[in-house]
Amino acid sequence: MWQLSITSLVLIVVLCSTGCTEHFEATRAETTERRQTSDWPEYGGGQGQRFADVDQINAANVDQLQPTWIYRSGDQSDGNSAAIPSGSAFEVTPVLVEGALVFCTPFNRVIALDPLTGGEFWRFDPKVDLRGDYGNQLVCRGISQWIDPLPDLRSACRSRIFTNTNDGYLLALDAMTGKLCSDFGSGGRINLNRGVGDQDYLGEYQLTSPPLVVGDRVVAGGAISDNRRVDAPSGVVRAYDARSGEQLWANDLAPPEFDYNSEPVSDEGFALGTPNVWGTMVADQARGLIYLPTGNPSPDYYRSGEPDMDYYGTAIVALHADTGKVAWHFNTVINDFWDFDVGGQPSLVDLDIDGETVPALIAGTKMGFIFVLNRASGEPIVDVSYQPVPVEGPLAAQLSPVQPFPPAAYRVAAEMTVDDAWGMTPIDEGECEDILNSARTGPIYTPITEDWTVVAPSNLGGINWGGVAVDPNRQVIVARSSNVPFLVRLIKRDEFKGRQGFEFSIELATQRGTPYAMARQPLLSSWGLPCNKPPWGTVTAIDINSGKQLWQVPHGTVRDVSPIPIPWKIGVPGVGAPLITSSGLVFLGGAWENVLRAFDLSTGAELWQGRLPAGPQATPMSFQVKLDDGDYKQLVVIAAGGHSSMGSDLGDYLIAFALPD
């Protein structure tokens, strides 16, 4: 049946190349019926759990899955066009809104589909300025919805979709028609560029993740380009009235002792260079709390002076939804100088601990650490120990001598030593040994200096923006992790001559306002493969009740990233999170390989894989649809569009899998 699945997908792709677009256009034009579906009301499903309470697809029949529809948006970019100089990444997870499947494209077009057939209800084009230099790629991870609970005679915009854009706008759309809600902001738009401070270029301030709806408020953060300058745009988080768009509060995440009279601020009084919230927030509606996953302030690798803007950086910060005031915060890194910012949406779940229900928040981090906190107080539920770490180099005076560590079972990524040098042949293994012998190596939190330093886990992760998935019934966490080391170094300002001498580095940054520029690159051999022992990508299940790992298995093969395209199941890097279903399945794309996989939640055994036409650097979702005969059909949906800066195959596909009729 696996071969049937691949054949079916290939057949669909071939047909699409010979007229499928016209067929889908006709189907979309004729689609009017709204379906009755199960819930997937927000990004991450509900409360960021990435859990679907559906069980038609199970371990006994998952091997029969095959594509049931495929939709192509037309939006992708390799970054090699003068009109669109930034590449794209298709990282979206759709949301079910009023019987429609709604998603956004890398160009921020918002599209509503029939969830059963993939037929199009409507599409909205905000006409984003694609000429910007978008350092985070052109990306839109999702949208949010809101239904006005107040009685109202109006028919338009009672049900709204809120979406952010790469060029810095928050939009409100009518969920039924896709048209702008004219009573929100200025004609349905709010320009979030205003107030964050001057930008060196279009795209230095960018919105990549969905806004958060909590009560009658819609809350937006923003992504700031890393490493450019000390006085970067503010990482301010702002809340707006969901009806009118009136700004209700703002929190710029400056440290408590920040002096607004003497320190740099924007024209609206927000502190510059503060931590930003580029990942997806989550809310506890009942407690009226918003949880922010924060990044570290800019630049990543060097800051000096007082106060350190990292007070709320690389942390989970809980805000009161009605005021924006801080309720509590927990730093996952103390004084972060490794770009370990928290990008993944936290997951909220109620845990049964010694017969007592405890409100928990679970956060995965780039270090591959998973922290379990009481979401009411911020106190750890799973023990955290503060362990000594190295303190040396140009930043010794600002480095913390200790860092928080969860128990070993909650650490899912790998560190690296010289003895870990690896290659497919003696030649490339020797290359890797030479690099490691010439670089500084050490445990996690080894300080960055003027010499090349191995950082493992790296700024790629560990666990990146996808976060983790949580089964609230079995009380099991599933995490996808990458194990790709990076080389990073500081460059004295008077020695920095741009790319001269660093032609091989994939990233150079000025870190303006500091004595050092920065260079970093993945630690790879000439074969283009990581220099550390595989697996380079894993998936891990953790039983919260026992505090033990149930299993950890490699995730992905080198088929699509190696010069030799063989399906060697070695585990490869990637981004994106797992999906858990109540039938005990784990669906996972994410890897640098054009495959969607299903695992058994209990054992980690791989039960199915479906070949895709492009990279699935996204988190899947699942739901069931009521059919005309009263029965239900479960679908699993994944975006397959790749990631231009990371080399996976590009595309514009949204694909739904289901069991045969």
- Catalytic residue list: 339
DSSP run (H or E) holding 5: helix 2-15
Backbone angles phi, psi at 420, to 5 degrees: -90, 5
Q: Which of 543, 532, 539 is nearest to 554 (CA)?
A: 539
Q: Which amino acid is at 638?
A: I
Distances (CA, A) of 173 to 109, 155, 165, 170, 178: 12, 13, 13, 10, 5
Question: How far apart, in whole angstroms, are the C-alpha atoms of residue 365 and residue 371?
Answer: 8
Residue 146 near residue 213 (C-beta atoms within 8 A): yes
| Secondary structure of residue 513 in the 3-state scheme | coil
Distance, C-alpha 376 to centroid of its chain: 24
- What are the residues facing 386 on neighbouring strands? 404
Backbone angles phi, psi at 402, to 5 degrees: -135, 155
Backbone angles phi, psi at 126, to 5 degrees: -75, -5
Angle among Cα 400, 405, 408 to the nearest 5 degrees reads 150
Question: How far apart, in whole angstroms, are the C-alpha atoms of residue 212 and residue 383?
Answer: 30
Dihedral, CA atoms, 491, 495, 499, 502, nearest 10 degrees? -60
Q: Which of 288, 265, 290 is nearest to 280 (CA)?
A: 290
Cβ neighbours of residue 401 closer than 8 Å, sequence gap 6 or more: 388, 389, 391
| Secondary structure of residue 395 in the 3-state scheme | coil
Question: How far apart, in whole angstroms, are the C-alpha atoms of residue 172 and residue 188?
Answer: 5
Question: How far apart, in whole angstroms, are the C-alpha atoms of residue 295 and residue 288?
Answer: 23
Question: How far apart, in whole angstroms, are the C-alpha atoms of residue 171 and residue 189?
Answer: 5
* Cis before 211? omega within 30: no
Give the burial class of 629: count Cβ atoms within 10 A of its Cβ; 0-12 exposed, 13-18 middle, 19 or more buried.
Answer: exposed
- Structure tokens of 501? 């001498």
Residue 659 near residue 56 (C-beta atoms within 8 A): yes
